[in-house]
A and B are shown apart, each in its own frame.
Chain A
Amino acid sequence: KQEVTQIPAALSVPEGENLVLNCSFTDSAIYNLQWFRQDPGKGLTSLLLIQSSQREQTSGRLNASLDKSSGRSTLYIAASQPGDSATYLCAGRFEDQAGTALIFGKGTTLSVSS
Chain B
Amino acid sequence: EAGVTQFPSHSVIEKGQTVTLRCDPISGHDNLYWYRRVMGKEIKFLLHFVKESKQDESGMPNNRFLAERTGGTYSTLKVQPAELEDSGVYFCASSLTYSSEQYFGPGTRLTVT
Contact = CB atoms under 8 A, between A and B. Distances in A.
Contacts of B41: 106
Contacts of A91: 43
Interface string A35-74: 0100000111110010100000000000000000000000
Contacts of B103: 46
Contacts of A106: 41-42
Nearest to A47: B101
Interface residues of B, number: 25
A106 to B, nearest CB: 5
Q: Is the interface of B mostly helix, strand, loop or mixed?
A: loop
Contacts of A100: 48, 55-56, 98
Contacts of A89: 43
Nearest to A89: B43
Given A34-B102, A100-B98, A102-B102, A44 B91 contact: yes
A104 interface: yes
Residues of A contacting B: mostly = strand
Interface in B88-106: 91, 93, 98-106
B101 A101 contact: no
Contacts of B43: 89, 91, 104
B99 A102 contact: no
Contact of B45 (A43, A44, A102): A102
Nearest to B46: A101
Given A100-B55, A101-B59, A104-B35, 10 more contacts: A42-B106, A43-B107, A46-B101, A93-B99, A99-B59, A101-B48, A101-B56, A101-B58, A106-B41, A107-B42
10 contacts: A42-B106, A43-B107, A46-B104, A91-B43, A93-B99, A98-B58, A101-B45, A102-B33, A105-B42, A106-B42
